[in-house]
């Protein structure tokens, strides 16, 4: 499991976050090999919330599968928005 707080805290000043940050983690890497896409790895990005940390979420825990290339894209966009 990788904790994402250090990554997001470096951009907190320009994300207009005035509340407690939720607990974010990256878990369960799974590598796939396909003829069309080649080899790639997906990760489950999980967010654990309280009412104080993310009032817009209804569920206390949510997750979504993402590929490593999507993390690179996110970091690039955040770095451009928050130099």
Using alpha carbons, list the distances in angstroms from residue 63 to 15, 36, 38, 47, 81.
Answer: 21, 26, 25, 6, 25
Using alpha carbons, list the distances in angstroms from residue 43 to 6, 8, 22, 62, 71.
Answer: 18, 17, 18, 13, 10
The gap between the terminal CA atoms of the chain, to the nearest Å, is 27
Residue whose entry in the numeric block shows the structure tokens 């309280």: 50
Q: Is position 83 within any domain? A: no
Q: Is position 78 within any domain? A: no
Please state the domain count of the chain: 1
**pLDDT tens column, 21-48:** 677 888 999 999 989 889 999 999 888 8
Q: Is position 14 within any domain? A: yes
pTM over 0.75: no
Residue 2's pLDDT band (boundaries 50, 70, 90)?
Answer: very low
Q: What percent of the chain has pLDDT over 90?
A: 22
Q: CA-CA distance, 17 to 79, in Å (whole number)?
A: 17
| pLDDT at residue 50 greater than cutoff 80 | no
């Amino acid at each position: 499991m990788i904790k994402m707080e250090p990554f997001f805290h470096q951009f907190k000043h320009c994300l207009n976050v005035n509340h407690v940050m939720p607990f974010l983690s990256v878990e369960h890497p799974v590598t796939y090999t396909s003829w069309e896409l080649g080899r790639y790895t997906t990760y489950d990005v999980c967010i654990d919330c309280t009412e104080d940390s993310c009032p817009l979420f209804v569920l206390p825990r949510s997750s979504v599968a993402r590929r490593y290339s999507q993390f690179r894209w996110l970091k690039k966009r955040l770095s451009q928005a928050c130099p």
